[in-house]
Structure 1
């Protein structure tokens, strides 16, 4: 395949973060005549004009890339063969019709799982130490510790993880130095995988939530899993327990979570929400025992180049006639947020 028709649509900051100079030079080596356009340039010209003049076969995209037209005829006749999305979800970028018409699409897949797991570890320790409360109180209320602390250490906790995908497996590795008892609920994962990661299988969510001090939510968002973490399950977590969500917000009944946390018996540390940005009137914003992050679990700025390098690996695979990794199928597209 000729690489003359490779189009990169990234903002200047995305280009610097995902494809800093060594990676940009590598991409230019793959496609010496590539075209780089900013999202603003594409918006001003329109996709139809861009495709007409450049005729891209490969398209590299980021968060700010304008969405492709929701036009089945255009999708079939565009000539685009492969879209390499450097970040994660493509739902806001690519209408389903493009994938249905055969466009190969990939994203960062599991290349940044270890960084998300790192965020999970931070939320666990921060939640147990009540760092969210104390940071706010010391900044705004001249607070200092008193005799009735309720902080906890991660050492000696029992940790339950809902799901055992790539992020959960990375998290298990990060938790190893703490010598914890870790159990998981993930019915589809073979026993040999649990044995490899030295975790115990729970036979039900009720067992997972009732037997562990810390629950980490990492189940995929499927129709079956939507709202599966109910008020009943949250109330099964032992007193002074911690609920952490770095997976998908819609897996959890957030109103129920707010009600249980408002009673003071459960703490939470959250990075994902059903509606993002988290609405200003969300009851979760009013609770001192809920630590909140604005969906920062993905790669930190300095680690976005990891996803960029992964994308370049996929472009090389495609140019060799191989299938890229982390291809977005119609089924994975339906589960994405």
Structure 2
């Protein structure tokens, strides 16, 4: 690598000049974050695509540093807390920028800059990569909850705890999936490997699509709760999804049912869930809450049937870097990004 100290970047020397036009890519993700998102081999694959410039600062970087790095680039790559085209100063200073890959989830903030729409910047989200890790966490929670494995582990800490009561198997359970976006679909894909009966609530799901996915389609959320052994929530935080699961839904769940929330805390009535969990009827795995994190004395931290984690289901993983590579390959071929987001998509996305 040839270091350019004046702008604190690193210029990739592996440049293919066989074609008349070489794709130039600017990656404004600092070194510490980059190490969490990109394996060494993924970086090498990206380097081989053309003229790739990687940020060499340690933190998130400033707008000024990003502007220097992105000069002449047709595609930029950012992530959580990095500079981005939603910042008018950056986008105006990068006239050749035509595509942006967000190596993270939501891209709504990028469209807050009207120039992004006027210049028809193509925007890709790595939400599909994050969906895989969230779905993995979700299925793990469903298995642990249905099998009562954590309860049994605690019981065995000081001696023979005996077999857990009300143990169920994923393969013979009915699982309710609320929301069939990127995460919901990945959860369904994993659950199908177990032969699980899957029921889905999603206002946008048609009977024909449900049949193709091998799931049942339930048009009433309360009715869904009455039919399942476990319920998992995967909806974006939108005005229409706030507190969509409330007291009546918890009460509709059968005794010993499992609830998993890897979505957002605002999408449930947290107070009524806390009250219902206090009765000992249900088991909950909550990776999100309101607020985040919960106060140290909050009941959800103390209840023995509530397993509270601090937003670890998704986040940075090498799967994101792998999607960035695939999306850059797609750009080079003149194809769409894995998840290319347009203005028309925004009302349904977080």
Q: TM-score, normalised by structure 2?
A: 0.79
Instruction: Give the Cα separation in 2 of the matches to 1:147 and 1:36.
Output: 54
1:60-71 paired onto structure 2 within 5 Å: 60-63=77-80, 65-68=81-84
Which of 21, 29, 33 is the aligned partner of 2:40?
21
* 1:59 lines up with 2:45 in the alignment: no
Contact 2:236 2:349 in 1 (8 A): no
1:261 to 277, 280, 299: 277
- Whether the 8 Å CA contact 1:132–1:289 is kept in 2: the answer is no
Structure 2 distance, partners of 1:179, 1:143, is 35
The Cα shift of 1:253 comes to: 1.2
> Of residues 160, 175, 179 in structure 2, which corresponds to 1:159?
175
Question: Is 1:7–2:26 an aligned residue pair?
Answer: yes
Secondary structure of the residue aligned to 2:231 is strand
SS of corresponding position for 2:186: helix
Residue 288 (structure 1) aligns with = 304
Partner residue in 2 for 1:324:
337
- Match of residue 106 from structure 2: 89
Range moving further from structure 2, 262-271 or 75-84: 75-84
- Judged with a 3 Å threshold, the aligned counterparts in structure 2 of structure 1 residues 293 and 137 are, in CA distance, closer, same or farther, namely farther
Equivalent in the alignment of 1:169: 185
Query: What is the match of residue 243 of structure 1?
Result: 259
Closer, same or farther in 2 for the Cα pair 1:326/1:289, shift >3 Å?
A: same
Q: Which runs of 5+ in 2 are unaligned?
A: 1-19
**Pairwise CA RMSD of aligned residues?**
3.2
Give the Cα separation in 1 of the matches to 2:152 and 2:335: 52
The equivalent residue for 2:136 is 118
Contact in 2 for aligned 1:99/1:105 (Cα 8 Å): no
CA distance in 1, matches of 2:210, 2:57: 45
Partners of 2:256 and 2:282 within 8 A in 1? yes
Q: Secondary structure at the match of 1:255?
A: helix
Q: 1:76 aligns with which of 77, 89, 92?
A: 92
Where relative contact order (Cα < 8 A, 6+ residues apart) is larger, the structure is 1
- Equivalent in the alignment of 2:6: none
CA deviation after TM superposition for structure 1 residue 325, in Å: 3.0
Give the Cα separation in 1 of the matches to 2:183 and 2:242: 19
Q: Gaps (5+ residues) in structure 1?
A: none
Residues 96 and 333 in structure 1, CA contact (< 8 A), matched pair in contact too = no
What displacement does 1:54 show?
Answer: 5.0
CA–CA distance in structure 1, aligned partners of residues 168 and 85 of structure 2? 51
The reply on whether 1:205 has 2:221 as its aligned counterpart is yes
286-295 or 95-104, which deviates more: 95-104
Q: Match of 1:314?
A: 327
Separation of aligned partners in 2, 1:95 and 1:322:
21
Q: Distance in 1 between matches of 2:205 and 2:291?
A: 29
Q: Which moved more, 1:74-83 or 1:309-318?
A: 74-83
Q: TM-score, normalised by structure 1?
A: 0.82
For residues 196 and 301 of structure 2, the distance between their equivalents in structure 1, rounded to whole angstroms, comes to 31
Aligned to 2:15: none
Deviations 1:136-180 (A, max 9, x none): 6666xx475258845443343222111233433332333335443
d(CA) in 2 for partners of 1:138 and 1:331? 53
Alpha-carbon offset, residue 134 of structure 1:
5.0
Distance 2:285 2:339 in 1: 29
How far off its partner does 1:219 sit? 2.7
Q: Which moved more, 1:160-169 or 1:250-259?
A: 160-169
Structure 2 CA distance for partners of 1:306 and 1:161, relative to 1, 3 Å: same
Residue 130 of structure 1 is aligned with which of 143, 148, 151?
148
Q: Which moved more, 1:110-119 or 1:122-131?
A: 110-119
